Amino acid sequence: MEARELTLRYGTKAAIQKVSLAILDRRVTALIGPSGCGKSTFLRSLNRMNDLIPGTNHTGTILLDDTDIHDRSVDVVDLRRRVGMVFQKSNPFPKSIFENVAYGLRVGGMKDKAALAQRVEKSLRGAALWDEVKDRLHDSALGLSGGQQQRLCIARALAVEPQVLLMDEPASALDPIATAKIEELIHELKSTYTIAIVTHNMQQAARVSDRTAFFYMGELVECGPTEQIFTNPREKRTEDYVTGKFG
């Protein structure tokens, strides 16, 4: 998945300016930068969640499998099934654990009970939650702990088998143990999925990602292998940020 010269405006105010960034297949790309730098806006434009905010407009292209996702032939509903998203605040539906995971499949038209059950189990296993919830699949998802709820949201996103998984600070509201579990999970998922993750936590970016992109004031300052960004950045601003001089 790749953005070329992407500029996105809220009204007349540009949130991101001419960002060109490739999200490499089966790699974890971390988007870092201070608050308001445009990294979340960039992430949300990858599955067109920004369409929901009135007054946004863009120039430039975003390619998924060589097709512009803003092309007329692309149905935004299909796009979002191919590019899944996990939000900062876990947001399970007030339904059972099973129904939460099955939701994307049901709206996609899957009716066969056995197939649904199979896919729900697979997704929950994929999100490392199965063993904790297998005996209470039909209890409310709201009874889960915060960390479990977030893994449930990941399972829910995995269930529709997206190519790309976008994560917007998925662990920022979690305690260190739950965060460690999410990070471990990201490690496992990258063998199957292309992942882009926004994070405020520099250590987290260093731990989970293969590539890191540093955003500042709506611009992409620098992108490269994570190790290089953290040890030997080309740009002074990147160095200042990753070493904690500002941000």
Residues found near another protein in the complex (CB under 8 A): 47, 49, 52, 54, 77-78, 80-81, 84-85, 87, 89, 91-94, 103-104, 106-108, 142, 153, 156-157, 160
Nearer to another protein, 31 or 101 (CB): 101
Structure tokens at 100: 């939460």
Nearest-approach distance from CB 200 to another protein, in angstroms: 20
Would you list the DSSP string of 97-111?
A: HHHHHHHHHHHTT--
Nearest-approach distance from CB 199 to another protein, in angstroms: 19
Nearer to another protein, 20 or 91 (CB): 91
Nearest-approach distance from CB 75 to another protein, in angstroms: 9
Structure tokens at 172: 């920022």
Nearer to another protein, 144 or 229 (CB): 144
Nearer to another protein, 36 or 108 (CB): 108
Which of 29, 38, 11, 2 lies closest to 221 in space, CA to CA? 38
Residues 6+ apart with CB under 8 A from 113: none
Nearest-approach distance from CB 114 to another protein, in angstroms: 21
Beta strand extents in 25-173 (DSSP E only):
28-32, 56-64, 67-68, 83-86, 164-168
Nearer to another protein, 164 or 221 (CB): 164
Is residue 6 packed enough to be buried (19+ CB in 10 Å), middle (13-18) or exposed (0-12)?
buried
Nearest-approach distance from CB 41 to another protein, in angstroms: 14
Which of 139, 142, 185 lies closest to 165 in space, CA to CA? 185
User: CA end-to-end span of the chain, whole Å?
Assistant: 28
Structure tokens at 177: 């143990």
Nearer to another protein, 147 or 233 (CB): 147
Phi, psi (5° rounding) for residue 153? -65, -35
Nearest-approach distance from CB 157 to another protein, in angstroms: 7
